[in-house]
Every structure is written in structure tokens, then in C-alpha cells.
């Protein structure tokens, strides 16, 4: 059995506004799903040169400067920093780097961190995200391996991750998300550019989508793409805000469905997985984390498919299939 670890720590509670949706309480709720017996690893901090692989120097220095002032400051209407945020966000990126290296070395590893990262662009913090944890980790790991796949199942499109690797053929970025919500990107015709053309795959789904829709996309689009790309490492941007009880969600996923998604990715690659926490704000988030760890530990196979995907999902998959063949 492949070893499995979680990387998390009390440091992530120091970037906090208790009344904000992205507060430390949501990480505590997620970590409640870590099963007994999982190794808990203390996070390591990312250095400035790690951040600069994907972020502009002005962005990194701006976050450092805002944070140095102490107090609470909003970068935009959703994204805040306080006196601890630069260091905490650096630990979030560093923990994700560690998770990716652990996966390359043969261990499933889940970086349960905050703030999340997939909305952060090279020169912009947004959508609760300060530094792009998955992108920083992927760029650092590309010093060691040749190809990395990022699977993003957060409710929202990871505009920052897409933008960072849009012209890159060493990173395959696959996102499944609710269409036409924040950040209003991630349409099927966004497929990459220059040598990265074809290495970005977006599947925006209609509200009310179920595991039948997600499974159809994974089996018909993401898994074939992974098998063709043959990555040396796989990162999952694991946001569980598509849960049916999540206040931000119009989707109908349940905790066990995230175990199914994890199993689908595991079955498509020989690589242990590196996961990093993105969104997730509902009461069953911890149960979804437990289902992910259960799949990582090999305790359950794929359930029998239930229901049929929506016609719109089938149409999107048909369009993407034509674009990628």
C-alpha cells in the first residue's frame, strides 16, 4: 500500500478574519476528516525564489508590504491580508511543494492549507487567494521532472493556474467547474496558446450537476488526457465546494463522490497523488476529506455509476473530444 500523509499546522490559523468565508474555522472542519493513522507533517515555508517562479516580483513584494503594516487590509472585495498573511501564504505554498515532492518519492500527500491558491494570477491576488500554491509547487517540481498534470475539481475555475501555464506544454491543466460564476473564465474554447495549445482543458458544467456528470467528464475527457500526457506527477487542486450543502454551490455532489473522483484519478496514473486544499465551506466538508483519504488508502473501489449525465454535459464532452482529437 502507498504511504499517505497530510501536511498541515497551526500556522494556517494566523491568516484570519473570523467573520470571513475563508477563515481558519473552515480548515479545522476539513482537518476533522483526516483519519487516524495518517502521518501529520509540519509545513515548510516557501522561499521568495519559489514564489517568483510563477509570480511577479512586484506582486510578491506588494503582499509582503501590505502584510508588514499589520492590521487587516482588503486587496479586493473578497481577499484580505493581515500582519501574518505573507508568512502564512508562504507556508501554504511551501507545504504544497513538499506534498508534490513526497508524491514523486512514492507517497500520497494532501497539503491541507490556507489561504487557497488557484485564483491567484502572476501579478494579482483574488478570490481569497494570495499565492498560487499548486502552480508554485508545479513550477518548482519541474526542476526535477518533465511533465506535471493538475486536476482542478473546485467549484470555481482556477483562472490563476490556467493563466500561469497557458503557454506551457509541460503542464496539463484540467478543470471541471460550475460555468458562468466567479471568476467567469474557464470556457471550452480556452485551450492554451503557443506551445501550450491543447494542454488546457475546461469543462464548465450547468448548476445541478451530479457525480454522473463529473464521472462522465473524467472518464471521457480527463482520463484519456492523462493517459496520453503520461505525467511524472499529478497535483489535485482539491476544492470541495461543489458539495450539495456548500453555501457557494449549486451542484449536487456528496462527500463520497470525492472519493470516487480520487479513485478515478488514481486509476488513470501510476503516480501517487499530491493534493492541495482549495475551496470548501459547507458542513460536510470534513466528510469529503475523509472520503478522499479513504480512496487514497485503497479502501474502496469505484462504485457502480448512478444516473445519467445531463444532455448539456454530454454536449460539452462531445465538443471537447472533437477539439482534442
Long-range contacts for 61-65 (Cβ within 8 Å, ≥24 apart)?
63/89, 63/125, 63/130, 63/131
183-196 average pLDDT score: 98
The domain spanning residue 108 has which CATH number? 3.40.800.20
| Per-residue confidence (pLDDT) for residue 2, from 0 to 100 | 84
What's the whole-number mean pLDDT along residues 230-240? 98
pLDDT (mean) for 59-64: 97
- The predicted pLDDT at position 225 comes to 97
**Predicted local distance difference test score (pLDDT) of residue 300:** 66
> Catalytic residue at 119?
yes
Element (H, E) at 171: strand 171-178
User: How far apart are the C-alpha atoms of 230 and 148, rounded to whole Å?
Assistant: 9
Higher pLDDT, 157 or 71: 157
Quote the mean pLDDT of the chain.
Answer: 96
Its domain, for residue 317, covers 3-323
* pLDDT at 168 > cutoff 70: yes
Q: Kindly name the residue from 119, 156, 157, 285 that is annotated as catalytic.
A: 119
C-alpha cell belonging to residue 57: 516580483
Residue 147, classed as helix, strand or coil, is coil
The 10s digit of each residue's pLDDT in 243-293 is 999 999 999 999 999 999 999 999 999 899 999 999 999 999 999 999 999
Asked whether the predicted pLDDT for residue 166 surpasses 90, the reply is yes
Which of 51-60, 119-128, 291-300 has the lowest average pLDDT?
291-300
* The model scores a pTM over 0.95: yes
| 277: CB partners within 8 A, 6+ apart | 27, 30, 110, 111, 112, 113, 114, 116, 238, 239
Instruction: Measure the CA angle with vertex 158, ends 157 and 161; round to 5°.
Output: 155
Q: Tell me what pLDDT residue 211 has.
A: 98
- Chain segment 83-93, per-residue pLDDT in tens: 999 999 999 99
pLDDT of residue 306: 82
Give how far Cα 214 sits from Cα of 51, 83, 101, 221, Å: 32, 40, 28, 10
What is the total count of domains within the chain? Answer: 1
Amino acid at each position: 500500500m502507498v504511504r499517505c500523509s497530510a501536511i498541515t499546522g497551526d500556522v494556517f490559523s494566523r491568516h484570519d478574519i473570523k467573520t470571513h468565508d475563508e477563515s481558519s474555522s473552515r480548515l479545522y472542519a476539513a482537518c476533522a476528516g483526516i483519519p487516524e493513522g495518517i502521518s501529520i507533517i509540519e509545513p515548510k515555508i516557501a522561499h521568495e525564489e519559489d514564489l517568483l517562479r510563477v509570480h511577479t516580483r512586484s506582486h510578491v513584494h506588494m503582499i509582503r508590504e501590505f502584510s508588514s503594516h499589520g492590521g487587516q487590509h482588503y486587496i479586493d472585495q473578497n481577499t484580505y491580508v493581515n500582519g501574518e498573511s505573507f508568512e502564512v501564504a508562504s507556508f501554504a505554498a511551501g507545504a504544497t511543494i513538499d506534498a508534490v515532492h513526497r508524491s514523486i518519492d512514492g507517497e500520497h500527500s494532501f497539503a491541507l492549507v490556507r489561504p487557497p491558491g488557484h485564483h491567484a494570477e502572476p501579478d494579482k491576488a483574488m478570490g481569497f487567494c494570495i499565492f498560487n500554491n499548486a502552480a508554485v509547487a508545479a513550477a518548482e517540481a519541474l526542476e526535477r521532472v518533465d511533465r506535471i498534470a493538475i486536476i482542478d475539481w473546485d467549484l470555481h475555475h482556477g483562472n490563476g493556474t490556467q493563466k500561469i501555464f497557458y503557454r506551457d506544454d509541460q503542464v496539463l491543466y484540467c478543470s471541471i467547474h460550475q460555468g458562468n460564476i466567479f471568476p467567469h473564465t474557464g470556457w471550452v474554447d480556452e485551450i492554451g496558446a503557443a506551445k501550450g495549445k491543447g494542454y488546457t482543458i475546461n469543462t464548465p458544467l450547468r448548476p445541478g450537476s451530479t457525480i454522473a456528470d463529473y464521472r462522465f467528464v473524467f472518464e471521457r475527457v480527463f482520463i484519456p488526457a492523462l493517459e496520453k500526457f503520461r505525467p511524472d506527477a499529478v497535483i489535485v487542486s482539491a476544492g470541495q465546494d461543489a458539495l450539495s450543502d456548500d453555501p457557494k454551490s449549486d451542484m449536487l455532489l456528496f462527500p463520497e463522490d470525492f472519493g470516487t473522483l480520487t479513485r478515478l484519478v488514481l486509476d488513470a496514473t501510476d503516480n501517487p497523488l499530491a493534493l492541495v486544499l482549495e475551496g470548501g465551506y459547507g458542513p460536510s466538508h470534513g466528510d469529503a476529506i475523509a472520503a478522499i483519504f479513504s480512496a487514497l488508502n485503497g479502501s474502496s473501489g469505484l462504485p457502480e455509476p448512478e444516473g445519467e449525465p445531463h444532455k448539456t454535459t454530454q454536449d460539452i464532452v462531445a465538443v471537447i473530444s472533437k477539439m482534442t482529437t
